[in-house]
Amino acid sequence: MTDITAKLASGSKVEMTQLVMPGDGNVLGTAFGGRIMQWIDLCAAMAAQRHTRMPVVTASIDRLDFLGPVRIGDIALLRAQVNAVFGSSMEVGCEVLAENPLTGERRRCCDAFLTFVALGADGCPARAPLLLTATEEEARRVAEATARRATRLAERKGGPG
């Protein structure tokens, strides 16, 4: 196995679409939050795996904000990218847009931050390739992910948060 020490953040980008069908929805005519969470987990996992080229597992969903509904008949557009790498773990950001297929109008509906852990051939945590940034936005994402990680670790230790 070759040792890949660093990869560009842009190489982890994933975009997926889902047509929101009646089976994905509730009595209000909108997608179940749990279904959207499932799609977010899948999209973010693909971004993490694209970066590492190793199996990955979801360790946590740090933040998931529903900003608006995704309606039955909409196209859910999910975009994910690795924000930062911390040894074997990495934070992935994912946003969800709802697109009206008749007009093309898009609305931002959901934002989420997830932590994944890369696994080696033995099924144990393994070091993920470092993340290289090429844009100011990517550097900002690393800085913000690092701050969120510090908060997560402080909360785990029972500190302020």
Domains annotated for the chain, with CATH where assigned, are: 6-156 (3.10.129.10)
Residue-wise pLDDT for 55-75, tens only, equals 999 999 988 999 999 999 999
Helix, strand, or coil (residue 48): helix
pLDDT band at 160 (very low <50, low <70, confident <90, very high): low
pLDDT tens across 19-42, in order?
999 999 999 999 999 999 999 999
Among 62, 46, 61, which residue's Cα sits nearest to residue 12?
46
Strand ordering across the sheet containing 89-99: 14-19, 75-86, 89-99, 106-118, 56-66
